[in-house]
């Protein structure tokens, strides 16, 4: 697994209000890549995603996420291929991590799975055909819609 962070997803209670909050701080979201379920902000070589808290918990397979200890935060490592996603999740499991959700084709057109590290932090390992990965591991939101 390359030593890098691709994306941080924050589970938020009100996407419109949270998007407005960050915009009031002077941040600009990527209108071309955001929709009524997720807002993306380019932060240097990584991306911040605001995602409905319940939808994020459900994406991991936690149901509502209430009472589960889910902090409403996931980190992501984007892989360069579906095969790499599978290999990385196998490496995580061999290292003592827990597979929270095996990799699968996902509704947005990619392939992803989740794991928990030794302290219960959730990581998504994803192949996203819409977010190209530079040689140095950074990702950049594309200019147009996926």
CATH of the domain at 120: 3.10.180.10
Q: What pLDDT was estimated at residue 129?
A: 94
Q: What pLDDT was estimated at residue 144?
A: 59
Q: Does residue 38 belong to any structural domain of this protein? A: no
Q: Does residue 78 belong to any structural domain of this protein? A: yes
Q: Does residue 58 belong to any structural domain of this protein? A: yes
Q: Does residue 35 belong to any structural domain of this protein? A: no
CB 9 within 8 A of CB 65: no
Q: What pLDDT was estimated at residue 65?
A: 57
Q: What pLDDT was estimated at residue 68?
A: 62
Q: What pLDDT was estimated at residue 64?
A: 61
What is the Cα–Cα distance from 62 to 106, expressed in whole angstroms? 16
Domain count, the chain: 1
98 bridge partner residues = 116
Q: Does residue 70 belong to any structural domain of this protein? A: yes
Per-residue model confidence as pLDDT tens for the chain (146 residues): 888 899 999 988 899 999 998 898 888 999 989 999 999 999 888 999 999 888 898 888 887 656 566 788 899 999 999 999 999 999 999 988 899 999 999 999 999 999 988 768 899 999 999 988 999 889 888 875 55
CA distances from 140 to 65, 78, 134 (A): 29, 12, 8
Q: Does residue 100 belong to any structural domain of this protein? A: yes
Q: Does residue 60 belong to any structural domain of this protein? A: yes
Q: In which domain, by residue range, is 100 found?
A: 7-14+53-127
């Amino acid at each position: 697994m390359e030593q890098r962070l691709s994306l941080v997803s924050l589970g938020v209670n009100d996407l419109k209000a949270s998007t407005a909050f960050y915009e009031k701080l002077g941040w600009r979201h990527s209108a071309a890549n955001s929709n009524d379920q997720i807002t993306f902000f380019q932060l240097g070589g990584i991306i911040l995603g605001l995602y409905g808290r319940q939808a994020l918990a459900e994406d991991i397979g936690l149901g509502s996420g209430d009472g589960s200890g889910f902090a409403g935060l996931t980190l992501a490592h984007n892989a360069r291929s579906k095969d790499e996603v599978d290999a990385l999740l196998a490496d995580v499991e061999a290292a003592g991590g827990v597979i929270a959700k095996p990799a699968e084709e996902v509704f947005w057109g990619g392939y992803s799975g989740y794991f928990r590290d030794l302290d219960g932090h959730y990581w998504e390992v994803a192949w996203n055909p819409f977010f190209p990965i530079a040689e140095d591991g950074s990702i950049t939101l594309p200019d147009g819609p996926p």
